[in-house]
Amino acid sequence: MATTVQGREGVLDPILAKKRRVFTRTLRKVMREERELSNAEMAAMFEDDGDLGTAMRRMLLSEEQ
């Protein structure tokens, strides 16, 4: 079952959902392998743009607690 996310125009976009999952998986893998940066430091790299950047910041900061 494909997960969909709401795009900027309000349309469900399965392609964006897949890209987000791949990006998140890749980021977590890099963080596990390297662990040179804390989650807070990684979160600081993402802009608070109201979309993917915000979601990544929230995920990283929640994992650190």
Q: Taking residues 18-33, what's their average pLDDT?
A: 80
State if pTM tops 0.75: no
The residue segments making up the domain with residue 21 are 5-64
How many domains are there within the chain?
1
| pLDDT band per the 50, 70, 90 thresholds, residue 22 | confident
Closest CA to 52 of 27, 31, 29, 35: 27
Q: Taking residues 35-61, what's their average pLDDT?
A: 70
**CA of residue 18 relative to chain centroid, distance:** 12
